[in-house]
Amino acid sequence: MTTFKTTRRRLVGTGIAGAALVGAAKSTAFAAPLLKMQDGVTLEVWGGVPAENGPQALVDAFTEASGIKVNYTRYVNDDTGNTQLDTALQGSTTVDAFFTYQVARLAQRINAGAALDISEKIAGDEQISAWVAETDGIFTIEDGVYHSLPTTQEMQFMFINQKIFEDAGIDVPTAGWTLDDYVGLAGELSDGMTFGTYAPMNTATLTIGQNAWYNEDGSASNFGDPLFAEHYGRHRQMVDDGIAFPWTDVIAQNLRAYAQTPFLTEQVAMWVNSPWSLRYVNDKEQYPHDFVTTFAPLPSFADGQYNNQGINNWMLGGASTQYPDEVWELIKFWLTDGAVYMLPAGKIPALMTLDQATVVDGMLGPNADELYDKAAFEAAAFDPDIRYYTDSITTGAAEISTLLSGLEDRLLIGELDVDQFISELTEGADGIIAAAQ
């Protein structure tokens, strides 16, 4: 069993809260000259974001500020790309720093000794240590021992096609709308060709939060929780009613990971997604469209607040790096002054040293007035009701994920009913967890 405990269960502050927390120390690591670093150092950094979307500009700025050269290598964040990175971490290629995007892989890499211990570096930096102390969900394998820091917030909110709402004479929802409102609107906006929504948000995981798939001690699955049956039953019903995007199309077009096409071709009116998908809306060349994208916070359910597994893009130093000081300087830069360069990639900084207006402008790009409702974006992306968490149990997570997506497909195309789905999912996940322990 691979169980990891976070040190704090308090929830990570949102952008605004984060900014307030570090307000006194607002920016930055590079206001003062850098520590004297070794001459001629070149750091090898591996990340999943294409260099041209921000990382290259960031490392160029870092080189200019510090004199430390950086080679940024983009790896594709899929199974093959991650295996390439893992092989490189074994010494086939030098990796001084790298990014990880799934908690299960993060746990595996840290546990395997592939990551640099940065606990002392954090403790020695007033700004970073203050942020880490006040932020819950930062992943550790034991109290006070840190190997990674999150660089972005990736919360979920609703992308909305304003034109479809206007044509239907319906007001765009705002904060405070409910789950029933959402389902009702999806029905009103569906006409057989256009679907009210792509897919509903997973109210089970958003309500439960941390380790939603597992029981309290991680010894069995938690899919028997009625919240799962409720969510998947709702989704199935919405597909059957023709108000959520047909899952047969999702499978037939391989839309599971990237579903921007139905939204940007006006097949769906509402789409639950994260800031990184803004890059598709910004790309009018590849996705030509003539509607304004507006936003809403997720509709309220449960107690009004909801959990979001939204701190991500974990940055780590390579365990075998010869330049731990330089790597730490790069991590600090990525979290602080460098964050501005990642905004065009849709990356809201995890440590908010930038003011909110700068973040919004950087993310929505130069055509924001034409493409977006900026005020709605601010309200959705900086929703104070979001609570952040990071899973601490990852036992058999990859296998459970495969099992879940396979059964979800069968449920949503009508081959299983909800009871069969929950029963097979629970049995399968329990078996996976038992085998992994």
Partner 1 sequence: MIDGQQRTHPDWVELEPPRKSRKRFSWTPYLFIAPNLLGFAAFTLLPLIFALVVSFADWDVISGMKGITWVGLENFRDGFSDPTFWKAMRITAIYVLGSIPLTVVLGLLLAVGLNGPSPGRGILRLIFFIPYIVNAVAISATWILLYHPRYGPINAILRWIGVDRPPLWLASSDWALPALIIMAIWGGVGYNAIIFLAALQTLPEDLYEASDLDGAGVIEKFRSITVPLLSPTTFFLLITGFIGSSQSWGMINLMTRGGPGTSTTVASYFIYQNAFQYYRFGYAAALSWIMFAIVLVLMLLLWVYQRRAVFYDS
The alpha-carbon radius of gyration of the chain (Å, integer) is 22
d(CA 278, CA 166): 22
- CB 48, min distance to partner 1, A: 16
- CB 303, min distance to partner 1, A: 35
Nearer to partner 1, 247 or 306 (CB): 247
- CB 75, min distance to partner 1, A: 14
Residue with tokens 């990971």: 257
- CB 433, min distance to partner 1, A: 13
Nearer to partner 1, 21 or 413 (CB): 413
- CB 331, min distance to partner 1, A: 21
Contacts with 233 (C-beta within 8 Å, 6 or more apart), sequence order: 418
Nearer to partner 1, 20 or 398 (CB): 398
Residue with tokens 């030098």: 94
- Helix, strand, or coil (residue 67): coil
Q: How many CB atoms lie within 10 A of CB 93?
A: 14
- Helix, strand, or coil (residue 113): coil
- CB 399, min distance to partner 1, A: 5
Q: Which residues pair with 98 in a beta bridge?
A: 46, 316
Q: Which residues pair with 269 in a beta bridge?
A: none
d(CA 375, CA 293): 11
Q: How many CB atoms lie within 10 A of CB 365?
A: 18
Nearer to partner 1, 223 or 377 (CB): 223
Nearer to partner 1, 355 or 409 (CB): 409
Nearer to partner 1, 243 or 359 (CB): 243
Binding site for partner 1 (CB under 8 A): 79-80, 82-83, 86-87, 89-91, 108-109, 112-114, 246-249, 251-254, 398-399, 402, 405-407, 409-410, 413, 415
d(CA 298, CA 301): 9
